[in-house]
């Protein structure tokens, strides 16, 4: 398991990404920022793919993606066979994404949540374990290969 948390965002998620990086670093986590670097319009797949590839090459790692709605960047990440990206908008959803789905990327909809809500979800996501058991049977059926 990598102790580095990869994070990526499009322009709509740039400011939230910066707040999350600051929050995680204050808690002693190491982050790897895959971009973007401003609020200038960019294409979310350019940031979803590198974060997803990092997670796939570091088994047991967890990452963060952010875009305006959460949809586009999550759809892109979920094209990777080793990724289970969950769009979260409440801390309860973030907990269930880990407990029941073994999500390895939390995706946040920057235009629909506050920074405070995002930081709460990040804390829950990174402090919640997968329950396994009956949930593992379901997770095993997700991949198409």
Residues belonging to the active site: 67, 100
Which of 118, 123, 105 is closest to 14 using CA atoms?
118
ω into residue 22 within 30 of 0, thus cis? no
Report the half-sphere exposure of 138 (CA within 13 A, side-chain side): 13
Which of 55, 48, 39 is closest to 111 using CA atoms?
39
Phi and psi at 90, nearest 5°, equal -140, 150
Contact 89, 60 (CB under 8 A): no
């Amino acid at each position: 398991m990598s102790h580095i948390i990869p994070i990526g965002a499009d322009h709509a998620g740039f400011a939230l990404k910066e707040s999350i990086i600051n929050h995680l670093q204050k808690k002693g986590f190491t982050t790897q920022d895959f971009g973007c670097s401003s609020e200038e319009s960019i294409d979310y797949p350019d940031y979803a793919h590198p974060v997803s590839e990092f997670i796939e090459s570091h088994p047991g790692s967890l990452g963060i993606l952010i875009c305006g709605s959460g949809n586009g960047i999550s759809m892109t990440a979920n094209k990777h066979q080793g990724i289970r990206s969950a769009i979260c908008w409440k801390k309860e959803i973030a907990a269930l994404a880990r407990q029941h789905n073994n999500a390895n990327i939390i995706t946040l909809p920057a235009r629909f949540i506050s920074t405070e809500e995002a930081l709460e979800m990040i804390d829950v996501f990174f402090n919640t374990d997968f329950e396994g058991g009956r949930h593992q049977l379901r997770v095993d059926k997700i991949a198409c290969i």
